[in-house]
Structure 1
Amino acid sequence: MSWARIMTPLSGGQGDKAAVEAAAMLAEPFGAELACVYTPADVADVMPWMGEGFLGGVQTTALESLKEAAQVGEANARTAMASCAYARSRFVALQTPVWAGLSGESRLSDVVVFNNDPARGRGPLAEAFQQMVADEQRPVLIAREGLKVGGTIAVAWDGGKEASRAARLALPLLEKARRVVILAAPKASSRTFDASRLQSYYATRGVETELDILPDTGDAAPVLLYAARKAEADILVAGAFGHPRLQEFIFGGTTRTLLNSEQPSLFLSH
């Protein structure tokens, strides 16, 4: 298996350079295309607030300011991409409707790369992160300091739908890893599962793994993070749990804990 297109949304802000570098690091071992997708604030989202009660001149000035900000942001995003110098980079500047364009780009990408801020609900790409995880159900990589492809990867496993999806979609990444450790906490799950089944699944695909059965606990997330650190994992693969509510994706407690941790980088799928 392989990945052919890695995508990273850009906002024109300070975090773009790190996001591009991380996405290029992920794309390089596969020779994949790197799509740097500039995702500006959408004028269409602002227009409803500028309906009744806004004078024509005020509305025009506000729209012009948004357009100018988008132009500056696009220039910054292009600079961030250029600073990386990955040969197979491609720049995409989204236009209104921005969210529809972002969805379309993600559907033709194998993985979407973010840095820490959007994953923690901060900055202009926070909504884009939730859109990718919840609405589009795309696999995302949250790149953190020390990200490395080809090192050690830990896979959180509970036999559930979300964990299974993440474990399957991460297979190209696991094939590049030096070491893969399956982390299972059966006592922290309401379901019954056999962790060795995932080990067999990987073995038939040429990926040798170690199995770490974690101790009894009422909260899986801290134990998973401790086990990932103990394994010196560069990336933790996990299912993203949450519920759509009032058009807002509400992450479950385990996922929130993983998102708020400092290390390691996360490969998530809902």
Structure 2
Amino acid sequence: MSWARIMTPLSGGQEDAAVLAAAAILAEPFGAEVAGVFAPIDAADVMPWMGEDFMGGVQASALETLAKATAIGEGRARGALEGCGYWNRRFVSLQSPVWAGLCAEGRLSDVVVFLDETARGRGALADHFRQMIAGEQRPVLIVRPGFKAAGCVMVAWDGGKEASRAARLATPLLEKAGRVIIVSAPQASNRRFDPALLQAYYAQRGVKAEIELLPDSSDVGHALLEATTRARADILVAGAFGHPRLQEFIFGGTTRTLLNSAGPSLFLSH
């Protein structure tokens, strides 16, 4: 298996250089394309907030200011991509409707890369992160300081649909990893599953994986993070929003624990 296209949305801000550097690290072992997708503020989204009384010259001036800011942001985003030093790159500038364009680009990408701050709901691209992982159900990589793609990767697996999908989609990453650990907490789930099944799946694809069973715990999220610390894992692969999203929003859930942690970089899929 391989990855051919790594996408990262760009805002035209200072953070673009960091996320592109991480995307290049991820893409390099595969020779994959890094697609820098500039996602500006959409004038169509701003217009309804202006209201019926916000007309005439004031409206025109506001749209002109937005157009100038977009042009500046596009130039900065393009410059960040050119400056990342990776050879196989492509720049895409989205037009209105920006949401539709972003979804189209994400659907034809193997992985979408975001910075940690974005995944925590901060910055101009926070809504795009939520759209990619929850709305479009695209696999995302959340990059944290010290990111590297060829180190230790830990795969959280409970036999469920979300975790299994993440485990399968991450296979190209695992093929390049120096160490792979399947971590499971059988006593913390009502579902019966055997991590040896996933180990055998990986073995058929040339990936040698260890198995670590976690002790019984009412807080699986923190138990996973403790396991990554012990193993000095560089990336944690996990399913996202395994319970209904409304329930996760109200009660928290393992996904929220992982997103709010200071743990390793995250490869998530819903």
Q: Shorter-chain-normalised TM-score: which range?
A: over 0.9
| 1:75 CA drift (Å) | 1.3
CA distance in 2, matches of 1:251, 1:240: 14
Structure 2 equivalent of residue 29 of structure 1:
29
CA deviations 1:170-210 (Å, max 9, x no partner) are 00000011110001011222211111111111111111111
1:68 partner letter:
K
CA distance in 1, matches of 2:68, 2:251: 35
| 1:133 CA drift (Å) | 0.4
- Paired positions, count: 268
3-state secondary structure, aligned to 2:83: helix
3-state secondary structure, aligned to 1:182: strand
Structure 2 equivalent of residue 59 of structure 1:
59
CA distance in 2, matches of 1:17, 1:264: 20
Structure 2 equivalent of residue 2 of structure 1:
2
Structure 1 equivalent of residue 90 of structure 2:
90
1:171 partner letter:
T
| 1:243 CA drift (Å) | 3.7
1:157 partner letter:
W
Q: Check if 1:216 corresponds to 2:220.
A: no
3-state secondary structure, aligned to 2:144: coil
Structure 1 equivalent of residue 193 of structure 2:
193
Q: Check if 1:164 corresponds to 2:164.
A: yes
CA distance in 2, matches of 1:173, 1:213: 22
Structure 1 equivalent of residue 184 of structure 2:
184
CA distance in 2, matches of 1:250, 1:114: 24
CA distance in 1, matches of 2:119, 2:125: 9
CA distance in 2, matches of 1:43, 1:249: 30
| 1:249 CA drift (Å) | 7.7
1:33 partner letter:
E
Query: Could you list the runs of 4 or more consecutive aligned residues of structure 1 that deviate by over 2 angstroms after TM superposition?
Result: 242-245, 248-252
CA deviations 1:76-118 (Å, max 9, x no partner) are 1112112211111101010100000000000110000000111
Give unmatched runs, 5+ long, in structure 2. Answer: none
Cα 1:92–1:251 change in 2 (3 A) is: farther
| 1:140 CA drift (Å) | 0.2
CA distance in 1, matches of 2:250, 2:32: 32
Give unmatched runs, 5+ long, in structure 1. Answer: none
| 1:262 CA drift (Å) | 1.7
Structure 2 equivalent of residue 123 of structure 1:
123
2:55 partner letter:
L
- Please identify, of 123-132 and 79-88, the stretch whose mean Cα deviation from structure 2 is larger: 79-88
Cα 1:159–1:250 change in 2 (3 A) is: same
Structure 1 equivalent of residue 138 of structure 2:
138
Aligned residues with identical type, % of pairs: 66
3-state secondary structure, aligned to 1:40: coil
CA deviations 1:101-144 (Å, max 9, x no partner) are 00000011000000011100111100000000011100000011
Q: Check if 1:17 corresponds to 2:17.
A: yes
3-state secondary structure, aligned to 1:28: helix
Structure 2 equivalent of residue 203 of structure 1:
203
Structure 2 equivalent of residue 42 of structure 1:
42
CA distance in 1, matches of 2:188, 2:60: 56
Say if 1:34 and 1:90, in contact at 8 Å, map to a contact too: yes
Say if 1:240 and 1:251, in contact at 8 Å, map to a contact too: no
TM-score normalized with structure 2 length: 0.96
Cα 1:254–1:244 change in 2 (3 A) is: closer
2:178 partner letter:
R
